[in-house]
Amino acid sequence: MRKYILIIVSFLLIQCKTAQNLETKNTQQEIAIVIHGGAGTILKKNMSPELEEEYKLVLEKAVREGYTILKNGGTSIDAVEKTINILEDSPLFNAGKGAVFTNEGKNELDASIMDGKTLKAGAVAGVTTVKNPIDLARAVMEKSEHVMLAREGAEYFASKNGIEIVDPSYFYVEKRYNSLLKAKEKEAIELDHDSKASFYDPDIKDAKFGTVGCVALDKDGNITAGTSTGGMTNKKWGRIGDSPVIGAGTYANNKTCGISATGWGEFFIRNVVAYDISAMMEYKNISLEEASKEVIQNKLTKLGGTGGIIALDAKGNIVMEFNTAGMYRASIDKDEKLTIAIYNK
């Protein structure tokens, strides 16, 4: 009899464990990641097949890097930082290595990152010697009592916290410098429509916004958003756009969503675009898709602002909304589906 009782107890324990495993599997937190490499007048007719493939390869490499971190149990903060590092290291994008030139012939870089769990954030503006500004933004968030540091102070903080410093010549890219010369010839900061806060790219024969960004959701349900940029060609007087401004170019809150923006920075600041999308979700109880469309296609567009956002919510739903002809973008959703796109259609 005792033998049979032990067998029954063992069977029940196995059944209980199996049920627990199934429950854990069914309730396992989804993971997802989405990135952008800038929005603007990006037309297929102006893009060579070779350059298009080059963009897609870098976008895929970056988004897969971040997703691998998430899939291996890493945090959304790590995924966002490492993903943006890849985009910053590519001369294709207006961030890090490919940053545009100011009126003075310098490269002044901005970046920010925000943790949706704690609502902590870090940002840097106008740095000229930091190889990967997103790394410094994270250090500001985690190792200082501040949110935003700028210029010499930010660079001093970087040197004291082991952030890689490079000679300013590292950021020199010939076509970016030629864009500066072209802008100076016009004696303007490219003030016509999509060119207002963008840079002329000779490869695609038009202007685009080159900011890069990433939003990720990890296994613990934490959302992180990050953005990095070189700003606008021929910018003057220490101009700073929306990318390092929390609530404008970057925002994350586990209760709602994570956002990274790209576009005409002044309008994103005035409209507090990233936070507005989150606030609409929280206070109007609408979806991420509805909020994003209302802010980008209605509010921003009516006031003359151009650009777009990438976003994801706590359930792993992804949105890539923009009002320009194109936006470099890629994602891997909660079903592990990879998406890479450039043009509006």
Structure tokens at 4: 């049979």
Q: How far apart are CA 216 and CA 70, in angstroms?
A: 8
Q: How many CB atoms lie within 10 A of CB 28?
A: 9
- DSSP of 91-159, one letter per residue? TTSSSGGGPPP-TTS---EEEEEEETTT--EEEEEEESSBS-HHHHHHHHHHHSS-SEEEHHHHHHHHH
For residue 225, count CB atoms less than 10 angstroms from its CB and return exposed for 0-12, middle for 13-18, buried for 19 or more: buried
Q: Is 129 a catalytic residue?
A: no
Q: Which alpha helices (DSSP H) does the chain contain, by range?
A: 2-26, 49-71, 76-88, 133-143, 151-160, 174-186, 265-270, 273-284, 288-293, 301-302
For residue 263, count CB atoms less than 10 angstroms from its CB and return exposed for 0-12, middle for 13-18, buried for 19 or more: buried
**Among 211, 229, 262, 306, which one carries the catalytic annotation?**
211
N-term to C-term CA, the chain: 72
For residue 163, count CB atoms less than 10 angstroms from its CB and return exposed for 0-12, middle for 13-18, buried for 19 or more: buried
Q: Give the residue from 302, 338, 336, 325 showing the smallest Cα distance to 44.
A: 325
* Residues composing the chain: 345
Q: How far apart are CA 172 and CA 163, in angstroms?
A: 20
For residue 265, count CB atoms less than 10 angstroms from its CB and return exposed for 0-12, middle for 13-18, buried for 19 or more: buried
Report CA-CA distances (Å) from 107 to 44, 75, 311.
Answer: 29, 31, 28
Q: Which residues are part of the catalytic machinery?
A: 211
